[in-house]
């Protein structure tokens, strides 16, 4: 997840869009084992361009349609991702990720990754909802605009 995801959520919220507000989808991220292949596919078929964002262990790619950020590409490397199929990970904006994760667990969700902070972005948790679908929940950092 990147700084730009929070900016996207905040920008869309500021535009009175439902995206970025509590309970709305605010970001999508392709989790892939081959970022170069994925970038080529989406560039050739959709026309997206990509901006690199260095992160620990690799590069996160911001997908853009024109000047608008539309998602990200995260390359799954290492033993933690062995056998994990490629997938799109949606992120919901929530008002308090820690409190909401407690409610989710009480309602039958399982935590894949406990809440963690990404400097300049916000606080994120990854869950399996009771039906098994994976989803990210994010409390974006407050906008500095």
Strand order in the sheet with 58-65: 49-55, 58-65, 68-75, 25-32, 87-93, 134-140, 122-128, 110-118
Determine the pLDDT at residue 16. 33
Nearest to 43 by CA among 53, 54, 30, 55: 30
Delineate the domains of the chain, giving CATH numbers in brackets.
3-140 (3.10.180.10)
Determine the pLDDT at residue 13. 39
Determine the pLDDT at residue 88. 96
Chain segment 18-50, per-residue pLDDT in tens: 457 899 998 999 999 999 999 999 999 999 999
Determine the pLDDT at residue 17. 43
Determine the pLDDT at residue 14. 43
Chain segment 51-63, per-residue pLDDT in tens: 999 888 889 999 9
Say if residue 9's pLDDT is above 70.
no
Say if residue 128's pLDDT is above 90.
yes
Q: How confident is the model at residue 145 (pLDDT cuts 50, 70, 90)?
A: very low
Chain segment 74-124, per-residue pLDDT in tens: 999 989 899 999 999 999 999 999 999 999 999 999 999 999 998 878 899
């Amino acid at each position: 997840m990147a700084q730009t995801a929070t900016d996207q959520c905040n920008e869309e919220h500021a535009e009175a869009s439902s995206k970025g507000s509590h309970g709305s989808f605010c970001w999508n991220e392709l989790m892939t084992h081959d970022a170069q292949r994925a970038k080529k596919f989406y560039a050739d078929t959709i026309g997206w361009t990509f901006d690199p964002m260095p992160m620990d262990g690799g590069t996160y790619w911001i997908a853009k349609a024109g000047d608008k950020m539309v998602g990200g590409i995260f390359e799954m490397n290492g033993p933690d991702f062995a056998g994990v199929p490629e997938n799109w990970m949606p992120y919901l904006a929530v008002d308090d990720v820690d409190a909401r994760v407690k409610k989710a667990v009480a309602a039958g969700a399982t935590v894949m990754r406990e809440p963690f902070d990404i400097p300049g972005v916000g606080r994120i948790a990854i869950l399996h909802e009771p039906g098994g679908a994976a989803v990210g929940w994010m409390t974006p950092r407050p906008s500095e605009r």
